[in-house]
Amino acid sequence: MTDESTKTDETPGYLSRKVVVSSENGLHARPAGRLAQEAQTFDSEISLVVDGQSVDAKSILDILTLAAGPGNLVELRAEGADAAAALDRLEALFLNKFEGA
């Protein structure tokens, strides 16, 4: 996992952070639901990007379409007033394998 937030000319308007899916079953229904539920608590627009496919992080169904398995690199993107806080919270979920956090 990298703990970097970027806002450059190449990624205008949003903050980005990269995380790795470390749970052995990947982003299946339970962690996808938890991720969507947490994302919905923020006003910012939040998306997940895996292998060039971008989806709305506030939708469990969209997250499940990523089929992100163990070891997959996921880019978290957020744009809005609470973007940094959203990335911090969602990254913590990944770091804790969606347990507690």
Among all residues, which ones are annotated catalytic?
A: 28
Q: What SS3 class is residue 68?
A: coil
**Under 8 Å between Cβ of 44 and 92:** no
Q: Burial level of 3, CB count in 10 A (0-12/13-18/19+)?
A: exposed
